[in-house]
């Protein structure tokens, strides 16, 4: 099983909503069986679902392979050192994962079979 482990993707606000992120991600997973990553963002999960079919059991199966350190279900507790990755927490809150405590650095584990 070939896994693309995504560490992050950022696109300038100027290009958000243009499909650029989806195209970048499609190219990144080309030739892979699985897309996997950690995130604090619901938007990132939504983006991933465009190119991969989410599989919760697979996420648990590959969690160690992608460097999960303190797994509780689908959450890597305090993955980001006990703090949020995003500077403006108030602005980010509407995009934040609902599981775990993203303000304390928790991250959601995602894995899916590439479409």
Q: DSSP letters along 26-65, please?
A: HHHHTT-SEEEEEESBHHHHHHHHHHEEE-HHHHHHHTGG
Q: How confident is the model at residue 70 (pLDDT cuts 50, 70, 90)?
A: very high
Indicate if the pLDDT at residue 98 is higher than 90: yes
Predicted pLDDT at 71: 97
Q: What integer best gives the mean pLDDT of the chain? A: 95
- Compute the average pLDDT of residues 28-32: 96
Token code pair at residue 58: 């697979």
CATH number of the CATH domain containing 37: 3.40.630
Q: Which residues span the domain enclosing 10?
A: 3-114
Confidence band of 82 (pLDDT split at 50, 70, 90):
confident
Domains of the chain: total? 1
Angle between helices 42-51 and 20-29 (to 10 degrees): 60
Q: Does the pLDDT value for residue 16 go beyond 90? A: no
């Amino acid at each position: 099983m070939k896994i693309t482990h995504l560490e992050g993707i950022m696109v300038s606000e100027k290009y958000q909503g243009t499909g650029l992120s989806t195209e970048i991600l499609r190219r990144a997973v080309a030739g892979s069986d699985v897309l996997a990553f950690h995130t604090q963002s619901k938007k990132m999960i939504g983006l991933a679902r465009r190119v991969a079919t989410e599989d919760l059991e697979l996420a648990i199966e590959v969690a160690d392979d992608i460097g999960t350190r303190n797994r509780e279900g689908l959450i890597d507790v305090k993955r980001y050192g006990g703090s949020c990755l995003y500077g403006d927490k108030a602005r980010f809150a509407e995009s934040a994962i609902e599981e775990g405590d993203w303000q304390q650095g928790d991250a959601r584990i995602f894995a899916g079979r590439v479409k």
